[in-house]
Amino acid sequence: MGKGRNLTFLEQALAYAADGLAVFPCIPGGKKPACARGILAATTDPDTIRAWWEKTPSANIGAAPASLGCFVIDTDPPRGDHELSALEMSEGFLPPTLTYRSPRGGKHLWFKGDITNTTSKLGTNIDTRGGHGYVLMPPSQTPEGHYEIVHDGRAADCPDWITTRLRRDIEPRRRETGTALDLESNVGRCREILARMVERGDVAIAGQGGNAATYQLACRLQSEGSSAAKTFALLETDWNPHCAPPWSADELAEIVAHAGAYMQNDPGATGLDPAAEIFAAAAERYAAEVKTPRFHAHSIPEQDSIPEPKWLLDKFLPAAGTAIMFGPPKHYKTFLALDLALTLATGRAGWGFPAREPVAVVYIVGEAAHNVMRLHRPAWHLPGPGGAAMPAGAAA
């Protein structure tokens, strides 16, 4: 990738875009994006690119590898280069691939595949830049020097040991679940995904990462349990007519095949068996484990065998159950509820009942907590005639 050694920043940015690589400007002499949306603004649209670099001719060139279905292995010398060489000795040598040299002497090695951004996961000072990541491209420069082409050409297929090692360290690869491909339920879910994306205008648009969007969608549909052939058919009928412009049949088939070869998960890894089968198995296990559900219609013998209730206050407040105190506002419901709770908690006589064993009480204050804790409850403890606490109502 790259059309010449002596091109201006604008000419080289346009050349990258012509190859399908989405680019965006970074600050002159640095790596920070020079546009508000950063990598999200990356595009292959020539008019947008001309406007950016005519405004800032010396802006560095940032690029999104995922727009080409690629990722970049970024080594930071000297440790990163040594680590990568050691990995090659133990795992296998990397094939010749598109390679750039960074100003500090590190390398950017481009490979086909769907790998996310990582930091030193592959090895010390070896990073990866993939989805939502970006790299600087020649002839970008920093205070240390220029980015330079080391090996021109296309990105090579990534060796299996690279993806295996990264997936093991980053996120376990989802393996095939045993669910058959192209089940009606899974295909239906794929159609719903496409319909929602089309409805909100989330489709492939030339110059706005359309290739990457279609590639990622093809990966998702195949993970959901759609075969490569069915994925192509779904994209061709439900997605492609809404893209700007639509893909040719050959282009779309190539993207689907590329997704099947390099997708993160196995086909069908996130697919599901039919709901009837899932719930039938669950119902069978439930029936075997639970003889009588907690909530069920009680037979007459069950109703007759219900024991007599136990009471905290005889025939007034049950030991198990729900009691409701209701009345108009400003009729002292809070006073009465608090008096009842404290009477039970202390075991004192009250409410027409003799003293009894205290019981644990939790009083939940839904409002006016300060009044209850700092005024109402202390008032309950005020002494009455002869030094005894006054009845709650009098104390209130």
Question: CB of 222 within 8 A of CB of 61?
Answer: no
**What distance in Å separates the CA atoms of residue 259 and residue 222, rounded to the nearest whole number?**
8
Two tokens, residue 310: 């136990």
| Torsion of Cα atoms, 335 then 328 then 319 then 362, to 10° | -40
Percent of the chain with pLDDT over 90: 34
Please, what is the Cα angle at 22 between 19 and 28, to 5 degrees? 110
User: For residue 203, what are the contacts with CB-CB under 8 A and spacing of at least 6?
Assistant: 197, 210, 213, 239, 242, 243, 244
Q: Picking from 140-154, 173-187, 359-373, which range would have the lowest pLDDT averaged per residue?
A: 173-187
Architecture of domain 9-170: 2-Layer Sandwich (3.30)
Task: Assess whether pLDDT exceeds 80 at residue 294.
Answer: no
The predicted-structure confidence for 366-396, as pLDDT tens digits, reads as follows: 777 888 888 888 888 777 543 344 444 433 3
User: For residue 47, what are the contacts with CB-CB under 8 A and spacing of at least 6?
Assistant: none
pLDDT of residue 334: 84
The predicted-structure confidence for 30-47, as pLDDT tens digits, reads as follows: 999 998 788 888 999 999
Residue 206 falls in which region: left (phi positive, over 0), alpha (psi -120 to 50) or beta: beta
Please, what is the Cα angle at 374 between 369 and 380, to 5 degrees? 110
Helix axes 9-18, 46-55, angle to 10 degrees: 160
Start-to-end Cα distance in the chain: 87
Does the pTM surpass 0.75? The reply is no
- Name the nearest CA neighbour of 352 among 334, 338, 340, 335: 340
